Amino acid sequence: MKSENFSTFKRRALHTALVSALVLGTAGHGINSQAATASNDATATVVAPIAIAAGSTLRFGSFSTSAAGQTVSVNATSGARTNSGTLLVTSTVGRATFNVTGEGTLTYAITLPSNGTVTITTGGATAPETMAVSNFSSDPSGTGALTAGAQTLGVGATITTVASQVAGAYTGSFNVSVDYN
């Protein structure tokens, strides 16, 4: 009988262990199988592209020079001309203007040409004569702000003569870039 009790005891213990393992296994599965879901929104705002168009040209006017390193400058705000060593002749002068358009009241960064990158030229292809254009400045300076999606950007600069600067009509071009901040 002892042996029968012991066998019954072993069966009950084994049965209890199996049931416990099954319950624990199922309970663990139940916890891991529960999922949670949340919803959120995604938003975006598309703005009008920024654009820039040339307006008035940068006009240094007429002058004469007798030495290297003499300068003529045009102010970015007023369009007024100043000089160092040159003899100014009455002529049409003025700042360059650009029309910047874009979205509402956003601000934008202004990128002007670096010194040493722009020249104006006269003469034929075989014997061109040049003057360096440098010290570009803008109005507004560095950053602009659109009002009702538009702003006029003024640009000034300085030209520097070389020794025995050749007389003639000098022309050239330069780039100004704008980009939203």
pLDDT at position 88: 92
- In the DSSP assignment, the letter for residue 116 is T
**Residue 155: how many CB atoms within 10 A of its CB?**
22
pLDDT at position 128: 87
User: pLDDT-derived band of residue 163, with 50, 70 and 90 as boundaries?
Assistant: confident
Cα–chain center distance at 146 = 15
The distance in angstroms from the start CA to the end CA of the chain is 93
pLDDT at 4 over 90: no
What burial letters (b/e) apply to 37-54, b meaning 16+ CB within 10 Å? Answer: eeeeeeeeeeeeebebee
pLDDT at 18 over 70: no
Q: Whole-angstrom Cα distance, residue 132 to residue 71?
A: 10
Could you report the per-residue pLDDT of 31-77, keeping only the tens digit for each? 557 899 999 999 999 999 999 999 999 999 999 988 899 999 999 99
pLDDT at position 8: 65
pTM (global) more than 0.95: no
pLDDT at position 26: 56
Residues contacting 44, CB < 8 A, separation 6+: none
pLDDT at 113 over 70: yes
pLDDT at position 21: 61
pLDDT at position 5: 62
pLDDT at position 15: 67
Collapsed DSSP state (helix, strand, coil) of residue 153: strand
Q: Whole-angstrom Cα distance, residue 74 to residue 33?
A: 75
> Which candidate, 42, 80, 74, places its Cα nearest to that of 58?
74
